[in-house]
Each structure stands twice: as C-alpha cells, then as structure tokens.
Structure 1
Amino acid sequence: MTKFADYGQLFGQSLEDKLVGVRGEVVTENSKKNPADFALWFKRVGKFAQHAMHWESPWGDGFPGWHIECSAMSMKYLGEQIDIHTGGEDHLSIHHPNEIAQSEAATGKRPFVKYWFHSLFLAVDGKKMSKSLGNVYKVADVVEKGFSPMALRYYYLSAHYRKQMNFSWEGMEGVSNSYKKLKKEFLALRLEGGQDKNIFGPSADESLTGRGKFFRDEFVNAVEDDMNMSAAIAVARAVLKDEKLKDFEKRRLVENFDRVFLYAKKLKTRATKCPTFLME
C-alpha cells in the first residue's frame, strides 16, 4: 500500500493516520510489508486447503481475494473506469479503497470510479438489523404480510441515502397506502401514446415548455441535489395533482421520471410479480 500514495483519499485518511493493533488483544501480521496490504490471490494451502472454489493460475491453485473479485467483475462488464459505484457505509474505509488501489494500479487509469454512493445501514424499529435480534426481513416477508414489493421500493426512496432509514411495519403500512393512491392516480390518466419519448438532456425527443418544462426541471434539480429521491417523488406527486397539465403531459412526465426511480412502469400494470431471487 505504501506505493499507492492516494490510498485512503476516499474516506479522508492517509495510511499514517491509521493505527494498527491499538488494542492489546489484536494480533498484527508480521509478514506484510505494510499492515494495510491485502491479498489478491489465496493459495489453497493451510486453512484454505479445502476451499470449495479454486482455480489454477500463474500463482498456484487457489482463489481470488474478495476485493479483486469486485474489480474483475466491474471491469469485465463495465470497463476499466466506471461512472457510479454503490455500496454500504461499511465499505468506505477498507473494501472500496482497496478496489481503487488495485484497479488503478492495474490499468494506470484514474479515476477508477467517478462517483461513489455510500448508503447508511437500515434500522428496524429503531434498532440495528441483526439475526440475533430476529429483525432481519426478506422481501418474501413483506409480500407475506400483503405488501407489494414496489411499495417497499417506494418506502426506500422516501429516505435520503445519507440518512439512516428506520423500517417499521407501521411505516410500511402508511407507505403502502400512499403508493396505492399514487398508482390509482396514474392509472386514471388517459393513455394516448407517445408518452415515453425522452424529455431529458440534449438528445431529448420532446422540447417542453410551460408547466411541463417547470416540472421536468424541478425533477432534475432534485435528483442532482445529491440524489434527493424523496424530493423527486414529491415532484411526481405534484405532477399528478396539477390541474393545468393535460393527462398526456402528466403521463409523459411521470413515465420519463420512471427512468430514474423505476416505479412508473410498474404502475402501468395492475399485477406486479417479484423476481424469485429477490424473494429468497
């Protein structure tokens, strides 16, 4: 890590700022050149001798380290530099800085990621979500209680990613009712065709004026304000309630907003089937 001068820049610390083995019971690794060094490849020896997943490589029979897996997958599918990388707040200090270090060292291209998006952990009834507390819920649990998976998504969009969200079944009930009302208002709009034409950016298919332009700009401003999705949803609700916009204009705006927070397409169908992998 000492060869990568910008290590820790993501979370505002340098290697010199990190204390190693400050607690007496912590055993530090003496074989590393730097305590922050991490493994790119694990050989199938010692405690890893019976590891289920392993491959032959120039470095011996083994398997990739966790950090390198993420760099390899993103480069294969998205290229050597990517626009947005998301993750939880727990990845801010180790995993993502490691991704940056190994990716930029391998390609020589900077930055590896233009924008990092770190969300805070979800709380449940004011407490940390954990198996020991019995408050870890799956999408299947939400559906079993009669709620739509899209209502859950709506619930998540109602809070800013930099603020800790508190999940509760009472809150889920309220959000579900709000989502149903929004869905009903959307489905009541006349379908005239052509509403899915792009209204964003220089390549827009439609040039908006008047109130349509006003709401489009308000939506863009909300999203560009550090992904303020709750404000963006408020704009969508305002569009549906506006008395001066025609049904065609409302559908065009909301269906375009769908390209960002992905719920309007689900509003168009009266039945929503959740993918199996999300239920497990």
Structure 2
Amino acid sequence: MKRFSLNQATTKHWPLPDLVAGCVEAGVTGVGLWREDVQAYGVEKAAALVRDAGLAVTSLCRGGFFQQDGWQDENKRAIDEAATLGAPALVLVSGGLPEDSRDIDAARAHVGEAIGTLVPYALDAGVQLAIEPLHPMYASDRCVVSTLGQALDLAGPYPAEAVGVVVDTYHLWWDDAVWELIARAGREQRIACFQVADWVTPLPAGVLLGRGLPGTGCVELRRFREAVDAAGYAGPVEVEVFAEDVWSRPGREVLTETLERYREHVE
C-alpha cells in the first residue's frame, strides 16, 4: 500500500476535496492529478489541499500535443503547475499527425525536438518530462509515439533527470518486446511513472473508455509490476482507469474496489 496511488481519472466525477478525504481515510498516500481538474479548483489551492492532507502528487497529466499551435507556452504552464503541486513528473501525450499530413516519421521527430526545447525549463523547475507511448490505435489523432522503444529513443538525447518515460499497462501489454524495453528503461534510469489499467474486451464505442479496473481484463498486471521492479523502479504504482461504468459509481466505492483488486492482481 505504500506505493499505491489513485489517479484522479479513475474517479473522474469525485470532487477533489472528497477524493483527498477519501484517500486519507483509506490510508492512500499518493494521487495522480489532471490539469483541467486542478485548474478548475485552483492550482495553488489544490497544492495546499493535497499538501495539508499529507498526500504526495505522483504525477500530473498532461502536457504534450506538440502539433497544436501554442504548444510551447502551454507546456511551460504545465511544467509550472507540476512544480507548484510538487509532482515529480509531467506526463506527455505527444499528439497525432498534423492536419493534412501522413508523415508519421516527421511528426515523431518533431516531438523529440519539441521536448528538447522544454528540457532547460523542466530542469530549472525540477520536473521530469515523462513521454507516454499510447497504443497504436491512437497514432493518427492522439499520439504518434506508440511503443516504449520509440519513447526511449526520443528521450535518449536528453538527461534522464529531465526526460523519462511512462510505462502504462493498458497501452503496452500487446508488445512482445516490452519486457526487454522495460529492462532497457531501467538501465537508462528513464522510468518516470508506472500506470496500471486492464484491457477490457470488447472495447466500447469510443476506445478511450476501454480501460478496466485491475483484474477485469486480459493484462498480466503483476508481471508488469515485477518487471518494473526488476528494472530498478521503486516509485508509485498509479491505477488510472477510463470507463463510464466506473465513473458512474460513487468515488469511495470505486476506491475500495480498486484497492482490493490492486492487492489481488498487482501487488
């Protein structure tokens, strides 16, 4: 339980003060936060709320979307917010192809260059940029970084304390190379964040909402946890689920079940 972190996405409609109170009551010590929710509550106010409750912010999601206008200023704001919250990592979702483009190689190269421009700012703020590879089905519109190997290659030119990677079971479970890539990420000291969700079949309409609580799908979650541990990662384990049937339930009920399933399928 010392490593468990509740990502705010799992209890999407649970107001932040209630989420914080529920975590404290359940003995949870870490939370992963999302920018739009934090902004709606107030960044400074959210930072004080979490800090006063004795919780650690394990990550802030998200920055990235480097194909959009104004990406540089927006990502600097995201870095500032992460620093204010005390989040060690800012999760980056790269963005998809530019409009009217089919050149995925150029789009991916642009992501690496864009991250490079942010490295000095991130180092000054003490925030690690965490590149998250998403399942290939998201490559056209959300994330041209599809494998852990691609993420590591993009991070490689920059200091590990500035740029790392996210290991997310939902996005990486299908890749037979993932175990060696996790080991590589450990050797390069690049694992910035470890997120857990299951893959539920069949996927619902709107595949973004196809994540399940641990143990409800087909992913070898404990194998992932053991792999990141073996790679030297000893940080938080965030459960991050996007699912309408989960969101429709009371947050406290979801947290209770999440903890039970985490113990059974991840620990």
TM-score (norm 2): 0.27
Which of these two proteins has the greater Rg computed from alpha carbons?
1
Q: Which has the higher strand share?
A: 2
Greater RCO, 1 or 2 (C-alpha within 8 Å, sep 6+): 2
